[in-house]
Structure 1
Amino acid sequence: MSTDRSRSKGVVALLADIPTTGHLGSAQAERFALKGDNIASRSSDFLDFTARRLSEGKKVVALYPKWHAEHAERAIAFARGALQTDHIAQVALDISPLALSLVADQLAYLSPYVPSGVTAALAEELPQHILAGAWLKRVNNLSTIPITFKQHLGSYLPKTTFLAFNAPVKRVGRVKKGNPRPNLPSRPIDPVQVLVTRPENYDVDEFNEQLTPALRAVSLSALPEQPLGPVYWGVRKYIEFVVFSAHPQALPSTTRTVRPNTCSWCRDLVSALYCPYCGTINQPAAGRPPTRSADVPPPPAKRTGEHIRPAWISQQGAQADRSAPSSATGHPSGPQPSAATSRAMEQAGGHPPTGTRPNAPPS
């Protein structure tokens, strides 16, 4: 185990057939479609890429879609075993193809400026700063985002439109009265740009007339359809979009939202419970539990229902306990007769009234 904190840089690889958006120019994640008849042919390009980057002293952040993960997970395991290294971070993201393409390129843009562990942590953070979804006519075959039974039945009705979001939250809603504004869960910081992809020759007039004004975007860029788009959305006809902020500080400021700590084994900076490289579980050091300050009162006792006793009863009981004589003084320690019982005994000549029993005299 190394004792020095790692400051190695990371490079980003996207293990899926997801082309780049081109929005960030030359800052692009390395793409691997993983096509072939067997695991060796599918993983050969990724294996060569990883070997070169490791020889340069860098680590690899391997992204892949969580909903299309089989080939990617096998390729990562194959590379780790063949190269005998744990410098490959396995990061699965549950977002749509267009959103994953943009996030991968954003990570590639940030990776030269932050440690490799922070690059892996930012993969989970960046989807929280975009708005990604699709304009759909049917959601009955949508398996990547939860839907209700009512939404499933509504897919068979004519002239029905749905807005499905996968980032920053997973949500499906029906567009009512041609107004999609109530469906929007959030909106990035101004100025806003939009990337749109759709099947060829699919009509976008309704999308442009209703959703585009609601987003108040300064630009809208149309891109070719993503190859895995129909797999994610479950339909052939859809309009996928990603909304993100074009503010100059929007992307660099996301690095300040990550609070990393040092992995106890590989000494890299990580923010997750499991280190994405070596897989170590990072927990606070064992020791004595923190003590409570004397001026901080203890937490109140847990009380439920009618078992709660009024405060004045508790105070009277405490005062009675303090004023009661101790058995060490020779006085009886059992319950004493009340004032009404004593008067009745005096009137009866020292005998208790019917139904009462005086305390036995002390021996």
Structure 2
Amino acid sequence: MTSADLALPPHDDRTLPAVVLRDIDTRPLDRLLSDVQLLVEHHGHVIVVCPQAAPTRVLRRLHTLRSLLESDRIAFFRPDLPPLAVAVLARQLRQLASCDLGPGVLASAGRLLVHYLHAGALLGSVARLDRVPVNLKQHAKSWMPGTQFAVLAHPQPQLVRFGPEAALEGPEFDTWMVTAKGQLTSDWVTGTLAPAWKVQGLHETALPAASPGWWGTGKLVEFCTFLPDLSVLYQLVTSVRRGTCHWCGIDVIGDRCVFCSATPPAHDGPPGSHASGRALAHRP
């Protein structure tokens, strides 16, 4: 993890602890390099969960670390999700890390589990919200005192003005919900939305430091629904067809290898051309 507040408490006794790479953009490079090298040597492979909205200087430092180590055993997972949802997804990967999944499959699993999250917030203003489409009328009403909005950022953007009839389309399967309160005082998420979505479990955590910036306001209550059961997560991941990276030989889900970034050749060449196909593999 690139931030300590994205490391949620374990969901069960099998959830592995998170390793936080603190102060990536400010700590001396040699110390960071030593820390990451020790992680790779100890665990074999490292999956770094870093939000898509992380500062550019953080991303540059991560790529610098991997380049200096010259390692294909470090994968970056950068989900385009609100901060609380990133934390939830990272915890699910920590749950799965206790199973008999290879590092390539585990690192690829995040792209699959994203589809089973519903992430949103109750906001006191959408005047500075740029992650979800806001029309001119909604933007104007946002300046009226006391106006609030129920927003869903994932999987499909939704934005409605808060009121007695306010509703958001939720998951069609059993989930749990985690909430995080900012400077907004409201029990609508836990008292109305959660029952409407028929969530099976509910708990609260601290608001991630990046949430006010992501949502454009500190007056919010952020929420995310997720699948909590490790057996269900494992079944989802293992039911997907696996492939083998033709470059580094690791098992993955999907076409792009999450560790070496190689993609399959455009087409199979004639017999005996395997070596040349490998040399022409795309490795951005």
TM bracket (short chain): 0.7 to 0.9
2:209 aligned residue: 227
Deviation at 1:262, TM superposition (A): 1.2
Aligned-pair identity (%): 23
Alpha carbons of structure 1 residues 97 and 189: separation in structure 2 relative to 1, 3 Å? same
Deviation at 1:210, TM superposition (A): 2.9
In structure 2, C-alpha distance between the alignment counterparts of 1:270 and 1:218, rounded to whole Å: 32
Deviation at 1:22, TM superposition (A): 1.0
Deviation at 1:160, TM superposition (A): 3.4
Alpha carbons of structure 1 residues 15 and 57: separation in structure 2 relative to 1, 3 Å? closer
3-state SS in 2 of match to 1:134: strand
Alpha carbons of structure 1 residues 48 and 144: separation in structure 2 relative to 1, 3 Å? farther
Deviation at 1:280, TM superposition (A): 1.6
RMSD: 2.6
* Paired residues, number: 267
1:197-227 per-residue CA deviation (whole Å, 9 max, x = no partner) reads 0125x31234344323212233321212211
Choose which of 132, 142, 145 in structure 1 pairs with 2:132: 145
Confirm or deny that 1:92 pairs with 2:54.
no
1:130-161 per-residue CA deviation (whole Å, 9 max, x = no partner) reads 21111113212112233333332231235533
Counterparts of 1:132-281 in structure 2, within 5 Å, are 132-169=119-156, 171-175=157-161, 177-181=163-167, 183-184=168-169, 186-187=170-171, 189-190=173-174, 192-199=175-182, 202-247=184-229, 249-281=231-263
Counterparts of 1:276-291 in structure 2, within 5 Å, are 276-283=258-265, 285-286=267-268
Amino acid at match of 1:111: A
Q: Is the 8 A contact 1:61 1:88 kept in 2?
A: yes
Q: Is the 8 A contact 1:28 1:109 kept in 2?
A: no
Q: Is the 8 A contact 2:17 2:94 kept in 1?
A: yes
Please list every run of 5 or more consecutive structure 1 residues that lacks an aligned counterpart in the other structure: 1-13, 289-363
Confirm or deny that 1:34 pairs with 2:1.
no
Q: Quick one: higher RCO (CA 8 Å, sep 6+), 1 or 2?
A: 2
Please list every run of 5 or more consecutive structure 2 residues that lacks an aligned counterpart in the other structure: 271-284
Deviation at 1:247, TM superposition (A): 4.5
Q: Give the TM-score normalised by the residue count of structure 1.
A: 0.66
Alpha carbons of structure 1 residues 146 and 241: separation in structure 2 relative to 1, 3 Å? same
Alpha carbons of structure 1 residues 188 and 29: separation in structure 2 relative to 1, 3 Å? farther
Alpha carbons of structure 1 residues 107 and 206: separation in structure 2 relative to 1, 3 Å? closer
Alpha carbons of structure 1 residues 54 and 32: separation in structure 2 relative to 1, 3 Å? closer
Q: Is the 8 A contact 1:135 1:163 kept in 2?
A: yes
Deviation at 1:287, TM superposition (A): 5.1
Confirm or deny that 1:18 pairs with 2:5.
yes
1:117 aligned residue: 104
2:280 aligned residue: none
3-state SS in 2 of match to 1:251: helix
Q: Is the 8 A contact 1:121 1:258 kept in 2?
A: no
Q: Is the 8 A contact 1:180 1:210 kept in 2?
A: no
2:40 aligned residue: 54
Deviation at 1:196, TM superposition (A): 0.8
Q: Is the 8 A contact 1:39 1:75 kept in 2?
A: no
Amino acid at match of 1:122: A
3-state SS in 1 of match to 2:217: coil
Structure (1 or 2) with the larger CA radius of gyration = 1
Q: Is the 8 A contact 2:25 2:57 kept in 1?
A: no
Q: Give the TM-score normalised by the residue count of structure 2.
A: 0.82
